[in-house]
Structure 1
Amino acid sequence: MGIGLGIFLIVVGAILLFALNVNIPYVSDDTLGIILLVAGALTLVLALVLQAQRGRTKHVQETRYDGPPPA
């Protein structure tokens, strides 16, 4: 989900920055595009770091010794 969200934010930010000329009151569309591009890049990097960390996790199964096995 994090990788998809990062790509989505990058795409929307690039569209606002390069393709659209919209007059949003109190907000510049170029500034909003840059903010979304940076947020998307940070989200993408964070998702990749967390995914790599999850891949290095070792799962250990504990077994409990309850005496000798039944005959």
Structure 2
Amino acid sequence: MYIGLGIFLIVVGAILTFAIDASSVGGVDLQTIGWICMIAGVLAILLSLVLTNRRGVAGGGYSARRVSHSDPATGTRVDEVDVDRDGRV
């Protein structure tokens, strides 16, 4: 989820840090802003990887089962859904 944002921030930060010659514009140091963007990009990528692993491994995996059938007595459709232990479908 955050991998795309992280890559974008790293690219923008690298451009601000290494490709622009002006050291400051209007009292703002562009190289410092570039380093901050690159660090934020790395943190966004790491956060995305940690959250993905936590959902897949520590959560015990994800399983769901959905069954549909017709009730023979009334002829109405019945949907049954099994949820995991966190209450998610």
TM-score, length basis structure 1: 0.74
3-state DSSP class of the match of 1:52? helix
What is the number of equivalent residue pairs in this alignment?
Answer: 62
Shift of 1:52: 1.2
8 Å Cα contact 2:56/2:62 also seen in 1: no
8 Å Cα contact 2:10/2:38 also seen in 1: yes
Structure with the bigger percentage of helix: 1
Structure with the bigger percentage of strand: 2
- Corresponding position: 1:48 with 2:49: yes
Unaligned runs of 5+ residues in structure 1 are 63-71
Shift of 1:27: 0.8
TM-score, length basis structure 2: 0.61
> 47-56 or 4-13, which moves further after superposition?
47-56
Partner of 1:25: 26
Shift of 1:51: 1.1
